[in-house]
């Protein structure tokens, strides 16, 4: 609640306001946590749970209308909302990291909110920072219209505390300026290298060809089986010394290659080969683990937002509403992931339904107490 106090009410007092701004934000968060995916759902849930909400909120003029909730979402300053989110989640991550003794890897990856493209508006694309060990979203940044992730990643990095952390980004983020920014903020980078950096890619490819079969190459292999498929992976690392220009890629000490192949039924894929650079001295095993954690964002964040929160099905498209709704989903996701009291280890879908059905579960997740 103290963090929500820092957000300015976008409404003009001269117009007269029936509902308290902070109370509206609390209802939105509680409703999205409670399995509500649309503004219509949120309004219906709030009216159904009005007696419960009055234990914590004054609700002088009752529950706001669906139009009021939507107007607030459209007008709310997404930058202020995002800043509040980062400060709040920073405390959550600090507490959980201290308890678990986690060093920390941050994966930065983008996702298009497809349903937000309805109504003549272009679909928004959000770049998120994801703490892979904790499964928590640390922040998000909207990609500007007619731009790409290269412009959003530096803004997101600037807002994050990454000291001592390993930041993993796919080939889009393999930019000299981004590598320099991460090092300047006392973090380490692990960047995928593709054709957008042709000279760097050629140097790394040549280094691995020249070192073929040499004992100095550190290698690690892994075979995983499940869901009707078998995936084999070999990770290899070499020293970056004499291969990578440190003026362009500061403190780079490791170059890596990952070869992977999958078999689904009786069909075998082609060999996939990916290259990486890192400012951290990584073993082949550590490289493989960091890369797996990065691609795990697809299942642990993007897939969850689509399947459990119906993000792509949302047709809210006007003004700031798609961006603010995206952040509300991530607030709810973080609240669920940070809750360690469920001894049954229920799925995220069931935890959301538990918050919807059981007032006690919801109160515990939100950490709130009745005012009367």
319 falls within a domain? no
Give residue 351's pLDDT: 92
- Cβ distance 243 to 222 under 8 Å? no
- Rounded to the nearest angstrom, the gap between the alpha carbon of residue 179 and the centroid of all alpha carbons in its chain is 20
Residue that finishes a domain, picked among 280, 304, 328: 304
277 falls within a domain? yes
Residue that finishes a domain, picked among 304, 324, 356: 304
Per the structure, the count of domains in the chain is 2
- Cβ distance 360 to 339 under 8 Å? no
121 and 184 together in one domain: yes
21-33 vs 359-366: helix crossing angle, rounded to 10: 120
Question: What stretches of 300-343 show up as alpha helix (H) in DSSP?
Answer: 303-307, 321-338
Give residue 344's pLDDT: 76
72 and 83 together in one domain: no
Q: How many C-beta atoms lie closer than 10 Å to residue 99's C-beta?
A: 9
Closest by alpha carbon to 288, among 162, 296, 108?
296
Tokens of residue 150, six digits: 């290269």
Cα→Cα distances 242→209, 225, 257, Å = 15, 38, 17
On whether the pTM is more than 0.95, the answer is no
Give residue 149's pLDDT: 82
Give residue 100's pLDDT: 43
Give residue 1's pLDDT: 77
146 and 249 together in one domain: yes
Give residue 76's pLDDT: 95
327 falls within a domain? no
Which CATH number characterizes residue 176's domain? 3.90.350
Give residue 67's pLDDT: 95
Give residue 125's pLDDT: 87
Residue that finishes a domain, picked among 283, 304, 325: 304
| Domain around 136 | 79-304
326 falls within a domain? no
Q: Classify residue 220 as left (phi > 0), alpha (psi -120 to 50) or beta.
A: beta
Tokens of residue 271, six digits: 């060999």
Tokens of residue 130, six digits: 């994801």
- Cβ distance 322 to 140 under 8 Å? no
Q: What φ, ψ does residue 324 adopt, rounded to 5°?
A: -70, -35
User: How far apart are the C-alpha atoms of 363 and 28, rounded to whole Å?
Assistant: 15
250 and 292 together in one domain: yes
230 and 348 together in one domain: no
179 and 298 together in one domain: yes
Widest pairwise Cα distance in the chain: 76
- Cβ distance 265 to 271 under 8 Å? no
User: How far apart are the C-alpha atoms of 78 and 124, rounded to whole Å?
Assistant: 13
User: Per-block average pLDDT, block size 10, for the chain (372 residues)?
Assistant: 87 80 95 95 96 94 95 93 88 58 77 71 84 90 76 90 92 95 96 95 93 72 77 91 95 95 78 94 94 90 90 81 92 90 83 93 87 68
68 and 89 together in one domain: no
Tokens of residue 38, six digits: 């649309």
Give residue 95's pLDDT: 56
63 falls within a domain? yes
149 and 274 together in one domain: yes
Give residue 145's pLDDT: 64
Strand partners, 19: none
25 falls within a domain? yes
- Cβ distance 110 to 156 under 8 Å? no
User: How far apart are the C-alpha atoms of 41 and 320, rounded to whole Å?
Assistant: 19
- Name residues whose C-beta falls within 8 Å of residue 362's C-beta, 6 or more positions apart in sequence: 30, 33, 34, 355, 356
- Cβ distance 238 to 258 under 8 Å? no
The DSSP secondary-structure symbol of 15 reads G
Tokens of residue 123, six digits: 């679909």
**Segment holding 290, helix H or strand E:** helix 284-295
Give residue 88's pLDDT: 86
372 falls within a domain? no
86 and 48 together in one domain: no
282 and 162 together in one domain: yes
Give residue 191's pLDDT: 97
215 and 116 together in one domain: yes
66 and 83 together in one domain: no
User: How far apart are the C-alpha atoms of 199 and 212, rounded to whole Å?
Assistant: 20
């Amino acid at each position: 609640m103290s963090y929500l106090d820092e957000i300015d009410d976008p409404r003009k007092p001269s117009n007269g306001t029936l509902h308290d701004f902070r109370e509206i934000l609390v209802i939105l968060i509680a409703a999205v946590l409670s399995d509500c995916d649309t503004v219509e759902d949120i309004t219906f849930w709030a009216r159904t749970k009005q007696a419960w909400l009055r234990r914590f909120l004054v609700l002088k003029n009752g529950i706001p209308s669906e139009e009021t909730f939507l107007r607030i979402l459209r007008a709310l300053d997404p930058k202020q909302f995002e800043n509040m989110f980062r400060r709040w989640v920073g405390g959550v991550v600090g507490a959980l990291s201290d308890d678990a003794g986690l060093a920390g890897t941050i994966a930065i990856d983008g996702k298009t909110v497809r349903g937000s493209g309805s109504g003549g508006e272009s679909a928004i694309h959000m770049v998120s920072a994801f703490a892979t060990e904790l499964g928590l979203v640390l922040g998000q940044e909207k990609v500007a219209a007619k731009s790409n992730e290269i412009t959003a990643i530096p803004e997101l990095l600037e807002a994050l505390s990454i000291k001592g952390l390993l930041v993993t980004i796919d080939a889009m983020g393999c930019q000299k300026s981004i590598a320099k920014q991460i090092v300047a903020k006392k973090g380490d980078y692990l960047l995928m290298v593709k054709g957008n950096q042709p000279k760097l890619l050629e140097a790394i490819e040549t280094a691995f060809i020249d070192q073929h079969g040499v004992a100095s190459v550190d290698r690690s292999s892994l075979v995983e089986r499940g869901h009707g498929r078998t995936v084999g992976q070999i990770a290899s690392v070499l020293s970056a010394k004499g291969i990578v220009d440190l003026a362009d890629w500061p403190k780079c000490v490791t170059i890596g290659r990952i070869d992977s192949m999958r078999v689904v039924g009786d069909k075998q894929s082609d060999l996939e080969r990916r290259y990486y650079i890192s400012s951290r001295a990584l073993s082949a095993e550590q490289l493989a683990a960091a890369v797996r954690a990065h691609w795990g964002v697809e299942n642990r964040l993007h897939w969850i937002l689509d399947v459990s929160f119906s993000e792509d099905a949302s047709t809210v498209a006007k003004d700031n509403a798609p961006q603010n709704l995206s952040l509300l989903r991530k607030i709810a996701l973080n609240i669920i992931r940070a809750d360690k009291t469920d001894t049954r280890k229920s799925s995220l879908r069931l935890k959301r339904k538990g918050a919807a059905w059981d007032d006690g579960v919801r109160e515990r997740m939100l950490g709130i107490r009745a005012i009367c």
